[in-house]
Amino acid sequence: MSNEPVKPGPLPPPVPQQVIGYATPANPAWHPPPPGPQPGDSTTQKVFDTVAGPNIRLKDNLIQLVCVIVGAVIGGVIGRFKGDQMGMLIGILAGLVGALVLSGLVIGILRFFGAVKK
C-alpha cells in the first residue's frame, strides 16, 4: 500500500436550474391579492356551502321558511281529509318536516354546485 493521498475525480457538470418568472413592475402578469379578507369573500360560508353547517344567507332562509309553511299547510289539509283533528296535526307535522328536509336538500345541492363552479 502506498501512502500517497487519493486525488478526487473531476466534479460533475452543474445541473441547470429552472428560472422562476417573478412578477415585477415590468411584468405585471400576476398581482397578489391584498392582505386580509376580500369583499364578498367569506371562508366560513364557503365551508358551510361545501361541507356542512348553518346557512346564514337571508334569501335561502326565507325560501326555506316559505317552503316549510306551504308544506305544513298542505300536510294539514291532507291530514284533515284523511282523519279528524289528530290526523290534521300529524299531517301538519309530516308536511313541515318533509318540506324542511326537501327544501334544505335542494338549497344545499344548489349551493354546493355553485361553490364548486367558483
pLDDT in tens, 74-86: 999 999 888 888 8
pLDDT on residue 84: 84
- Let me know if residue 42 belongs to a domain: no
Helix (H, G, I), strand (E, B) or coil at 97: helix
- Let me know if residue 14 belongs to a domain: no
- Let me know if residue 19 belongs to a domain: no
32/9 Cα distance (integer angstroms): 47
Reported in sequence order, the residue ranges of the chain that DSSP labels E, i.e. its strands, are none
pLDDT on residue 45: 60
- Let me know if residue 30 belongs to a domain: no
Domain count of the fold of the chain: 1
- Let me know if residue 2 belongs to a domain: no
- Let me know if residue 76 belongs to a domain: yes
Asked whether 87 and 79 are in contact (CB, 8 A), the reply is yes
Q: 35-39, 62-66, 89-93: which has the minimum mean pLDDT?
A: 35-39
Domain limits for position 105: 54-117
pLDDT in tens, 12-42: 787 777 766 655 555 555 566 566 555 555 5
- Let me know if residue 83 belongs to a domain: yes
User: Would you say residue 8 has pLDDT above 80?
Assistant: no
- Let me know if residue 73 belongs to a domain: yes
